[in-house]
């Protein structure tokens, strides 16, 4: 993002409403009516299917007595989960001045890596795929944040979702990101009791450093 960006917060937001908000904002950023922004939100339990995913990656819609909704998504990637206890960060950035989507994804990952470091959680990128991963010390890595991005006329939307304290069993209903052997983790599972408010307080300065003032 070039220059300042707006921060928009929702306590919880239905997924179709979130998509509508992003679509409208992308149009406004492209036309110059409104600035780039980061939307911090949470969704009710749902599975989203990216442009590389399919219904075959959904194993069950009933987990722990809950019915989990399924929505198609225009973002890149395969199938992922969103739900309570997860901080979803939609970064709507104007890349027309710097048309590098790989750099944008790197910044999304870096924002989470730096935020997690503030809570003494060591995380990193992995050859297994985009996103942010935590070494489980057993010759494996667990995903703690998933990335899915879409770009329209060099305006980005969608973003990255960080697991703070979601019901990790909900991930058992899908093949996350197309990998059957890619377990997930969360800040809470890594023995840290941070709240969403705590995480946001650390995340926003990192977002500003990475996404504004290019």
Task: State the catalytic residue, choosing from 37, 89, 177, 192.
Answer: 177
- The Cα diameter of the chain in Å comes to 50
**SS3 (DSSP) at 67:** strand
Are 168 and 186 spatial neighbours (Cβ–Cβ below 8 Å)? yes
| Ranges of H-type helices in the chain | 15-31, 101-118, 196-211
From residue 126, how far is each of 123, 131, 155 by CA, in Å?
Answer: 9, 8, 26
Phi-psi region of 119 (alpha: psi -120 to 50; beta: other; left: phi over 0): alpha
**Pairing relation of β-strands 79-82 and 46-49?**
antiparallel
From residue 7, how far is each of 73, 166, 211 by CA, in Å?
Answer: 23, 23, 12
Catalytic annotation present for 177: yes
Give the active site residues: 177
């Amino acid at each position: 993002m070039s220059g300042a960006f707006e921060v928009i917060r929702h306590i919880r937001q239905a997924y179709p409403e979130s998509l509508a908000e992003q679509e409208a904002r992308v149009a406004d950023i492209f036309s110059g009516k409104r600035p780039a922004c980061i939307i911090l939100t949470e969704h009710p339990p749902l599975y989203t299917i990216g442009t590389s995913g399919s219904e075959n990656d959904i194993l069950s819609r009933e987990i722990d007595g809950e019915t989990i909704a399924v929505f198609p998504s225009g973002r890149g990637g395969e199938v992922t989960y969103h739900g309570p206890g997860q901080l979803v960060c939609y970064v709507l950035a104007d890349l027309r001045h710097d048309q590098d989507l790989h750099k944008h994804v790197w910044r999304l990952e870096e924002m989470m890596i730096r935020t997690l470091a503030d809570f003494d959680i060591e995380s990193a990128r992995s050859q297994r795929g985009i996103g942010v991963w935590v070494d489980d010390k057993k010759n494996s890595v667990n995903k703690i944040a998933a990335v899915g991005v879409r770009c329209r006329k060099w305006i980005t939307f969608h973003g990255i979702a960080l697991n703070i304290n979601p019901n990790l069993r909900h991930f058992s209903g899908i093949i996350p990101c197309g990998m059957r052997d890619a377990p997930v983790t969360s800040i809470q599972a890594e023995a840290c009791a941070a709240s969403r408010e705590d995480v946001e307080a650390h995340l926003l300065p990192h977002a500003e450093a990475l996404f504004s003032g290019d």
